Amino acid sequence: SGVVSFGWNTGCLNSAQESIKPWIIESYHHRTGITLSHYVLTFIWSTTIAIFAIGGAIGVFAASPVSRRYGRRGDLLRANLLGIIGANFMAVIKIYSFI
């Protein structure tokens, strides 16, 4: 079940690449004045996907101690709080990346 979920989530992230890659190119060009090559862009995207997988592994190992300490409900509330904080960071980065 976990493997299917991971594969599905990775697929969802890859389906967003067509809108994220142009944003990476525009942001990098705006900040440095240099246009990214296809190889550097692929490296950045691959690193993004790898970090996503590493974050999943950290979450798996942290789930049991957090669940034991706070219970299932507390664990879910904290996970949702982290999701809201992450969404806010992404919104702020998107807004300020072109300033």
Phi and psi (nearest 5°) for 32? -115, -20
42 occurs within a structural domain: yes
Residue-wise pLDDT tens digits, 41-97: 999 988 888 887 788 788 888 888 888 888 888 888 888 898 899 889 888 887 776
The whole-number pLDDT of residue 86 equals 86
30 occurs within a structural domain: yes
Phi-psi category of residue 71: left, alpha or beta, with phi > 0 → left and psi -120 to 50 → alpha: left
34 occurs within a structural domain: yes
Residue-wise pLDDT tens digits, 4-42: 555 556 556 667 778 888 988 998 999 899 999 999 999
The residue type found at 90 is M
47 occurs within a structural domain: yes
40 occurs within a structural domain: yes
Alpha-carbon Rg for the chain, nearest whole angstrom, is 17
95 occurs within a structural domain: no
